[in-house]
Amino acid sequence: MQTITIIPQVGIPDHLIGEVKSKLAYVDEAIIKAQIDESGREIKLELRHPMEETSLKHLEEKVQQVVSTMTQGAIQPKIQVLEDNMAVLTPYCNDPTEELIQQCELHGETAGVFTLGPMLTRLIEFFEENFITLAASFEAKPYRFPTLIPARYLERVNYFRAFPHSLTFATHLREDLDAIDHFAQHAACDESGHLNQPPESFAKIQTLLSPAVCYHLYFSLADKPLPGGKMVATAVGNCFRYEAINLTSLERLWNFTMREIIFIGDKDFVLENREISRQRMARAFKDIGLAYRVETANDPFFIGEFRKQAAFQSAFQLKYEIRARLPFKESTLAVGSYNYHQDFFGRHLNITLPDGSPVHTGCTAFGLERMAYAFLCQYGTDFKQWPDVVREYVYG
Amino acid sequence: MDINIPLIEQVQAALAEALQTPIDEISPELALGDLPQWDSMGHMEVMMVLEQKFGIEINADTISALISVPAICDYIEKK
């Protein structure tokens, strides 16, 4: 292992420190930990193995490129807090991860991939019931979507350019008897868990693991008028977002589950229902006793032109995040969001209103594992400390 | 900024440049969303051109306020 210090040529503003740090994870495979000091003037990187001088120089150039691209012309977001329930008293202030592992409630398979035990599963079902109740209040139609999504779908909505770093690809062996036989005879994993087969054994990539739930609905409606001019739908699904070394505990999962309530119609219909869903969930979170706030936010676009969209999202309040308190680290975790996409999907996928104009879309989305994790960070794994409504559901 | 050219024409020219659109498509009432090019990405291009040509600071307030030709003209005149 090797630790290096890099002084960025441009100071990193306070509001960008977290975002730059998370992007450093994608700079080089050798990086296993990235830290930025509070002043934004010093970056420390832990490397998997010692590097030669030329490689180190190249690494530093890449780091400087990330910092300068992200900071030059960066626009400080104006964060508006819509709900603040951070002062709710909660009894626990440790990270429950180790306890959950010891109780066989949590088993890590690989970075960001976990199996969950009965208590965590019931806890997630409790939150799910709240979200399904919310969906029912809008008479949302239930849908089931696949885990795979065609590459051409994501291409059509510019996902490759906006979030290339977080994509997860799916492939299979080529339809070739020799390749299949060779795989069957020789396939094995090395000590790092990497499969030893050559890339030529695998078919070209046509599908990915889906990064979001609502895209599937929009594609099912593409290239035609929306019947009735409005709809509300709901679905739960597996989502995949690769986050490299940022994949830690239940806070950041590569494979997670998301419940979405999706609104499609004209602008007023979508914005009104997004707001109603926020107000209804505020009451539900109060009953649960969750310490959280809701504030304006933006998606984690990759460095590049799409970062401008982050400033746009923030300025127009297109995204509100539900950020639950993590008392053990005096921090918060996004456990859900209320999103308005304007007519982005309507335009790109040619979904139209009765007057021929593109539909507007929005969704209310909840990360189920994060929801359970945030709750346990606030209330611990001892159910005697839990609010009655949660304990009674989970343990009867 | 050229004081010999009416402000609205200068703003229309700036938008045409930012949105890579013929100037005759930039009507005096044009607003964000009226042209396919004036979407979220296009709007940020508009903001950058306005910054270069008129010294308008890009921040959350200006991004959300300068969403039409009249709004941009009003803002520059008051500035």
Read off the pLDDT band of A6 (50, 70, 90).
very high
Q: Quick check: B3 pLDDT over 80? A: no
Chain B nearest C-alpha distance from A47 (Å):
36
Give me the amino acid identity at A336: G
Q: Where are the alpha helices (DSSP H) in A320-367?
A: 344-348
Cβ contacts of A312 on chain B, cutoff 8 Å: 40-41, 43-44, 63
Neighbours of A319 (CB within 10 A): 20
Read off the pLDDT band of A77 (50, 70, 90).
confident
The span from the CA of A50 to the CA of B16, in Å, is 52
Is some CB atom of chain A closer than 8 A to the CB atom of B44?
yes
Q: Give the tokens for residue A195.
A: 């499969």
Domain boundaries, given as residue ranges, for chain A:
2-71, 81-146+213-395, 169-201
The span from the CA of B58 to the CA of B5, in Å, is 24
Q: In this complex, which of B43, B44, B60 lies closest to A78 when CB atoms are compared?
A: B60
Query: Can you tell me the mean pLDDT for B47-67?
Result: 92
Most A CBs within 10 Å, among B39, B40, B48, B63, to test the A interface: B40
Query: Can you tell me the mean pLDDT for B3-12?
Result: 89
Is some CB atom of chain A closer than 8 A to the CB atom of B27?
no
A2-71 — its CATH code?
Answer: 3.30.70.60
Radius of gyration for chain B, computed over Cα atoms and rounded to the nearest angstrom: 11
Torsion of CA A314, A319, A323, A329, to 10 degrees: -40
pLDDT in tens, A322-333: 999 999 999 999
Q: Quick check: A306 pLDDT over 90? A: no
Q: Quick check: A290 pLDDT over 90? A: yes
The span from the CA of A97 to the CA of A373, in Å, is 9
Lowest mean pLDDT across A69-73, A214-218, A331-335, B15-19: A69-73
**CATH classification of A81-146+213-395 is 3.30.930.10, yes or no?**
yes
The span from the CA of A162 to the CA of A348, in Å, is 15
pLDDT in tens, B20-29: 999 999 999 9
Q: Find out whether A318 and A285 touch, Cβ atoms under 8 Å.
A: no
Give the residue on B whose Cα is nearest the Cα of A348. B36
Identify the pLDDT of residue A298.
86
Give the residue on B whose Cα is nearest the Cα of A308. B44
Is some CB atom of chain A closer than 8 A to the CB atom of B59?
yes
Q: Quick check: A308 pLDDT over 80? A: no
**Angle, vertex CA A259, rays to CA A312 and CA A287, nearest 5:** 95
Q: In this complex, which of A77, A78, A311 lies closest to B44 when CB atoms are compared?
A: A311
Secondary structure (DSSP) of A132-188: HHHHHHTTPEE----SEEEHHHHHHTTHHHHSGGG--EE--B-S-HHHHHHHHHH--
Q: Give the tokens for residue A317.
A: 């309040």
Most A CBs within 10 Å, among B44, B64, B66, to test the A interface: B44
The span from the CA of B57 to the CA of B63, in Å, is 9
The span from the CA of A254 to the CA of A248, in Å, is 9
Architecture of B7-23+32-78 per CATH? Orthogonal Bundle (1.10)
> How much is the mean pLDDT over chain A?
94
Query: Can you tell me the mean pLDDT for A365-374?
Result: 98
Residue whose tokens read 């304007």:
A342
Read off the pLDDT band of A305 (50, 70, 90).
low
Give the residue on B whose Cα is nearest the Cα of A296. B60
For chain B, the residue count is: 79
The span from the CA of A346 to the CA of A225, in Å, is 10
The span from the CA of A269 to the CA of A375, in Å, is 32
Most confident of A12-16, A21-25, B4-8, B70-74: B70-74
* Between A309 and A39, residue with greater pLDDT: A39
pLDDT in tens, A119-165: 999 999 999 999 999 999 999 999 999 999 999 999 999 999 889 99
Q: What residues in chain A have their Cβ under 8 A from chain B's Cβ atoms?
A: 73, 75-78, 305-306, 308-309, 311-316, 342-344, 347
DSSP structure class, residue A336: E
Q: In this complex, which of B39, B41, B60 lies closest to A314 when CB atoms are compared?
A: B60
Residue whose tokens read 């070394």:
A245
The span from the CA of A229 to the CA of A352, in Å, is 8
Q: Quick check: A375 pLDDT over 90? A: yes
pLDDT in tens, A39-58: 999 999 999 999 999 999 99
